[in-house]
């Protein structure tokens, strides 16, 4: 898979998205259960609150793409309200994963609409991109990178605290991620064929000029890592774990702290987290959107505890885009 820096853009039009959504609808066997449903590897992974352990890594790798950093500074409240961005991200992803088919489709259209308004020019050089280069959020290569950081980081976080997926499960997880990618507007032809090829894609990206950290992305990363603008301040062990999981290139380019003390903190976290996490009750371990989906399929209303968990993860008591 070759990457062309400053080459022609391939934006995803609304018609392109609708074509992909029609394929998702055709392949969904139980619309009430959503695009995956109980028993899927995707539900198994994304139901775990441990996915938050990979959120910092995913955010930084996204910022390593100059388009993402520019879009955040020019079109987002991420610096003034990072909690809102956290909620916005998980609200859309969890609705796609755990919502009904109709909710997932509406979430995809909502995301495309948001991205359609995000375009501009890069304010600084970064990687292989020159200042003044144009960018747009609904562009296949950029969407592919954001999607890749989410699915790779989620699995790393999952396997940090729970037994790793076997080869067949990992392949299922990746194949299911292709369905999720269609909701982002990414056609199957733009994706790696299997998990091994996906791993090579990530490694190529880490070394390519498609990515590059400049002062803008570095400044945003520092603010996010310190919890600036919110009441949430990541503990040292979380920052250390994020740094440990970053490719060495970006650990250096972002200037992440990774001293001997930080390495020890990351090692201790990796040793202790599995034992602590596995003792959590289901109400803590499993995210509200998953438990809401379970309740929906059992014809039960979402309990107060489920609604409270949803508020923590998505900012609202229930998954959005449902029937009015």
Domain with 86, as residue range(s), is 15-231
Q: What are phi and psi of 48, to 5 degrees?
A: -80, 130
Q: In this model, does residue 48 exceed pLDDT 90?
A: yes
In this prediction, residue 5 carries a pLDDT of 41
pTM higher than 0.75 for the full model?
yes
In this prediction, residue 6 carries a pLDDT of 42
Point out which residues pair with 134 in neighbouring strands: 121
Number of domains in the chain: 1
Residue range 38-50: mean pLDDT, rounded = 97
What is 133-152 written as a DSSP string? Answer: -EEESSBHHHHHHHHHHHHH
Torsion angle, alpha carbons of 201, 204, 209, 213, to 10: 90
- Compute CA distances 140 → 143, 148, 180, 218, whole Å: 5, 12, 14, 24
Q: In this model, does residue 8 exceed pLDDT 70?
A: no
- Could you tell me if residue 140 is inside a domain? yes
- How many C-beta atoms surround the C-beta of residue 315 within 10 A? 15
Q: Which carries the bigger pLDDT value, residue 2 or residue 300?
A: 300
d(CA 226, CA 234): 7
In this prediction, residue 184 carries a pLDDT of 97
d(CA 320, CA 316): 8
- Could you tell me if residue 9 is inside a domain? no
Q: For residue range 50-102, what is the model confidence (pLDDT) as tens digits?
A: 999 999 999 999 999 999 999 988 988 766 677 888 889 999 999 999 999 99
The answer to which of 130-144, 188-202, 216-230 has the lowest mean pLDDT is 216-230
Point out which residues pair with 230 in neighbouring strands: none
d(CA 7, CA 17): 22
Give the pair of three-digit tokens for residue 50: 């441990």
Cβ proximity of 146 and 138 under 8 Å: no
Query: Which single residue is written with the structure tokens 């853009």?
Result: 9
Q: What percent of the chain has pLDDT over 90?
A: 85
Give the pair of three-digit tokens for residue 277: 């996490």
Point out which residues pair with 27 in neighbouring strands: none
d(CA 96, CA 100): 8
Q: Please list, in sequence order, all residues whose beta carbon lies within 8 angstroms of the beta carbon of residue 219, skipping any fewer than 6 positions away.
A: none
Give the sign of the dihedral formed by CA 145, CA 146, CA 151, CA 154: positive
In this prediction, residue 226 carries a pLDDT of 79
- Could you tell me if residue 263 is inside a domain? no
- Could you tell me if residue 217 is inside a domain? yes
Q: For residue range 152-207, what is the model confidence (pLDDT) as tens digits?
A: 999 999 999 999 999 999 999 999 999 999 999 999 999 999 999 999 999 999 99
Q: Quick one: which of 236, 176, 235 has its CA closest to 44?
A: 176
Cβ proximity of 140 and 12 under 8 Å: yes
């Amino acid at each position: 898979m070759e990457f062309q820096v400053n080459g022609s853009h391939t934006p995803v039009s609304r018609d392109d998205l609708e074509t992909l959504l029609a394929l998702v609808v055709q392949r969904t066997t139980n619309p009430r259960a959503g695009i995956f449903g109980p028993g899927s590897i995707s539900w198994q992974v994304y139901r775990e609150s441990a996915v938050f352990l990979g959120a910092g890594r995913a955010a930084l790798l996204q910022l390593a793409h100059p388009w993402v950093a520019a879009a955040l500074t020019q079109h987002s409240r991420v610096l003034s309200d990072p909690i809102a961005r956290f909620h916005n991200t998980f609200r859309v992803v969890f609705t796609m994963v755990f919502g009904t088919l109709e909710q997932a489709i509406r979430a995809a259209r909502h995301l495309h609409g948001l991205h359609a308004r995000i375009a501009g020019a890069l304010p600084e050089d970064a990687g292989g991109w020159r200042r003044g280069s144009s960018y747009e959020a609904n562009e296949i290569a950029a969407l592919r990178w954001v999607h890749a950081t989410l699915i790779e980081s989620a699995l790393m976080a999952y396997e940090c605290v729970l037994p790793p997926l076997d080869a067949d499960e990992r392949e299922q997880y990746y194949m299911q991620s292709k369905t999720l990618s269609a909701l982002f507007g990414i056609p199957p032809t733009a994706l790696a064929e299997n998990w091994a090829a996906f791993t090579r894609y990530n490694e190529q990206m880490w070394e390519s000029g498609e990515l590059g950290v400049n002062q803008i992305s570095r400044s945003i990363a520092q603010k996010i890592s310190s919890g600036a603008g919110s009441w949430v301040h990541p503990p040292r062990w979380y920052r250390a774990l994020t740094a440990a999981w970053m490719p060495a290139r970006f650990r250096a380019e972002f200037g992440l702290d990774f001293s001997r003390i930080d390495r020890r903190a990351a090692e201790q976290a990796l040793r202790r987290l599995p034992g602590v996490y596995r003792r959590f009750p289901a109400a803590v371990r499993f995210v509200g959107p998953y438990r809401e989906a379970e309740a929906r399929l059992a014809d039960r209303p979402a309990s107060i505890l489920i609604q409270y968990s949803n508020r923590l993860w998505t900012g609202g008591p229930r998954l959005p885009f449902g029937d009015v």
